[in-house]
Structure 1
Amino acid sequence: MSATDPVTGHPMSKQRLRLWLHMLKTARFVENELRERMRITYQSTLPRFDVMAMLDRTREGLLMSQLSQQLMVSNGNVTGIIDRLVQDGYVVRVSVKGDKRATLVRLTPKGVEKFAEMAAEHERWIDELMDNVQDSDIEHFVDALNHIRKDHQHD
């Protein structure tokens, strides 16, 4: 027999399902809000922001294949984003010596500067959207979410 919630009397499986639905709804709300703010403020997208963030963390650059693997998206998706970032002067493509098919991409100084501006604003937006979460709850939520991933990761 499944455990029951001592407060509601509902089976814990139903409570966990309820928790999941609330997490999903909240994550979608925050993501949609960020998408809209990124579009309005920077005429940009979250995938573009994610690519710039990955390149900012790896200043020496990444191979296109590494970038798509890290972001868990197709090479075609990354190529389209990189094309636009190159046009805007935020990213440069560099040939890899000894491998004519490989291309390294990295942020330009202009890209580093733009990403720093966007990242600071992104952090402010997250802070604003989550300002009603109590400080004492933040560590508890982070620990609980980490446990879900750690306890169920496949090696």
Structure 2
Amino acid sequence: MTTPSPDLESRAAPDDHHALRLWLRLLTCTNLIEGDIRGRLRTEFDTTLPRFDLMAQLQRVPKGMKMGDLSRHMMVTNGNITSIADQLEKEGLVVRTKVESDRRSSVLKLTPQGRKIFARMARAHEDWVKDMFDGLPEASRGALFKALGELKLQVVAHRDKA
């Protein structure tokens, strides 16, 4: 049997506060899932997670989105969006149009080819995520979903108090 490779959770000592150990376990799970998805996107579709995320945002808004709105939704800089958009535009997956009322702003929209390619990636992405969680009993998935919802509310309330 192989020993697991070190991860964020391995930094915690048994006598560390339970909240710290829980946070590190949550980060470790997130990093493991994200790493798997990043690798699969790279090997199966020759793309990156940020490109996938940008296309996912555009898929939800068929009329397109301003680049600044994409930046806010994805919580990245305008420069990141511009760089990804430039690549996707060169590949014919998105089209960029200037906003008539504000020539400094552009709207990005998936092309028909972009929609087709994203649909294939989205189906695969969903299958990968489902596969990762399939080994977890339904009751555990439900409990985890509920607990993470409670945590989210707690963190938002704590942030709003600060």
CA distance in 2, matches of 1:102, 1:19: 43
SS of match in other structure, 2:41: helix
* Paired residue secondary structure (1:130): helix
Query: In the alignment, what sits opposite 1:57?
Result: 60
C-alpha distance in structure 1 between counterparts of 2:24 and 2:132, whole Å? 19
Normalized against structure 2, the TM-score is what? 0.84
Which blocks of at least 5 consecutive residues in structure 2 are unaligned? 1-13
SS at match of 2:103: strand
Name which of 9, 14, 19 aligns with 1:16.
19
Helix, strand or coil at the partner of 1:102: strand
CA shift, 1:16, in A, is: 2.8
Match of 2:143 in 1: 140
CA shift, 1:77, in A, is: 0.5
Deviation at 1:14, TM superposition (A): 2.5
Query: Is structure 2 residue 119 aligned with structure 1 residue 108?
Result: no
1:69 maps to a residue whose letter is R
TM-score by length of 1: 0.88
Matches within 5 A, 1:37-116: 37-116=40-119
* Paired position in structure 1 for 2:32: 29
Instruction: Tell which deviates more after alignment, 125-134 or 68-77.
Output: 125-134
One-letter amino acid matched to 1:58: V
Shift of 1:152: 2.3
- Quote how far apart the aligned CAs of 1:143 are: 1.3
How far does residue 131 in structure 1 lie from its aligned partner after superposition?
Answer: 1.7
| Distance in 1 between residues matched to 2:45 and 2:26, nearest whole Å | 27
Alpha-carbon distance, 1:150 to partner? 1.3
Aligned to 1:3: none
Looking at structure 1, the residues matched to 90 and 49 of structure 2 have their Cα atoms a distance apart, in angstroms, of: 18
Q: What is the identity, as a one-letter code, of the residue corresponding to 1:110?
A: Q
Distance apart, 1:17 and its partner CA: 2.3
**Structure 1: gaps of 5 or more residues:** 1-9
Question: What SS does the corresponding residue of 1:92 show, helix, strand or coil?
Answer: strand
Task: State yes or no: 1:118 paired with 2:121.
Answer: yes
* Distance apart, 1:146 and its partner CA: 1.3
Give, in angstroms, the shift of residue 34 of structure 1. Answer: 0.8
CA distance in 1, matches of 2:39, 2:22: 26
**What amino acid sits opposite 2:81 in the alignment?**
V
State the Cα RMSD in Å.
1.5
Cα distance per residue 1:87-120 (max 9 Å; x no partner): 1111000111121101000111111111110000
